[in-house]
Structure 1
């Protein structure tokens, strides 16, 4: 049975590349644009699932924000 899964991606710029990471599976990829980085990550996650690497249930990360004092520019 085919099932649809939703994952969380974080994308950040590193030099000339965008690096995308799947928080649930600890998988990363990259691309020249944000769209490329996410598309490449999706392909990597699909390959991971095809190889049987997906353990259910999927553990969702807890995301939060916090503030610190620092010197601005």
Structure 2
């Protein structure tokens, strides 16, 4: 299994929410909100660690990092 840092993170502005959303596509429902991109990234990194810790604690499977945005698929 790859290191936890290999999980792709999406980061985008949401006009509807009035801030930035960050999510980890490989980890179901792992996302966070922030007033700035930096804050959203900080929050999603904490959420990712909590997600992985909860999965380990409850003996749930942890997915291998697989998500690759279309831009990387086209380049490779």
Q: Identify the structure with bigger relative contact order (alpha carbons < 8 Å, sequence gap 6+).
A: 2
Aligned twin of 1:69? none
Between the two proteins, the alignment pairs up a number of residues equal to: 63
CA apart distance, 1:55? 2.6
CA apart distance, 1:21? 0.9
TM-score (norm 1): 0.70
Q: Using a 3 Å threshold, how does the CA distance of structure 1 residues 42 and 8 change in structure 2: closer, same or farther?
A: same
Q: Using a 3 Å threshold, how does the CA distance of structure 1 residues 19 and 59 change in structure 2: closer, same or farther?
A: same
Question: Counting helix residues as a fraction of each chain, which structure ranks higher?
Answer: 2
Runs (4+) of structure 1 exceeding 4 A deviation are none
CA apart distance, 1:48? 1.0
TM-score (norm 2): 0.67
| Consecutive unaligned residues in structure 2, runs of 5 or more | 72-76
Aligned twin of 2:21? 19
What's the C-alpha RMSD, in Å, of the aligned pairs? Answer: 2.2
Quick one: distance in 1 between partners of 2:61 and 2:43? 21
| Consecutive unaligned residues in structure 1, runs of 5 or more | 66-73
Question: Counting strand residues as a fraction of each chain, which structure ranks higher?
Answer: 1
